[in-house]
Amino acid sequence: MAIKSFEIESYGVHLTDSLDLGSGLIAAGATSVRMRGAVACKGGDHVFFMIFLAPGSSVPEAFYRPADKLGAIFLPFGDIAPYVDLLRNEKPLTAYLDSDNPWRNGIFSALEPVGEGELPSALLP
């Protein structure tokens, strides 16, 4: 069992028109997996991918491979906006990876006061 959490230092967003992942690193051997977008979160020597799939694509199992320092989850493309919004607007963010329970892989923000930074100061009374 391996669990890893790390602060997300940088991220990248890749959008495409149904790229077939084929036998690549992310979805090894799953030729019917079709990606519409991917978000890569990096922290230290670890990378966590959130792969957003085209409608009708098969959905691989989430994973965390400690030896490769790589984890991934697979989601419908329609779910990409809240993830990108969280990465753009919140800090600090943490990625959580679990090799035994990879369905728990994800990102989360630190606790902050209610209403913290949600409105531009010019709009506050």
- Among the residue ranges 22-31, 65-74, 75-84, 96-105, the one predicted with the least confidence is 22-31
**DSSP helix/strand/coil, 46:** strand
118, with CB counted inside 10 A (0-12, 13-18, 19+), is exposed
Output the CA–CA distances (angstroms, integers) from residue 69 to 24, 42, 57, 73, 96, in the order listed: 16, 10, 26, 14, 12
Tens digits of residue pLDDT in 36-89 = 899 999 999 999 999 999 888 888 899 999 999 999 999 999 999 999 999 998
Q: Whole-model pTM? A: 0.81
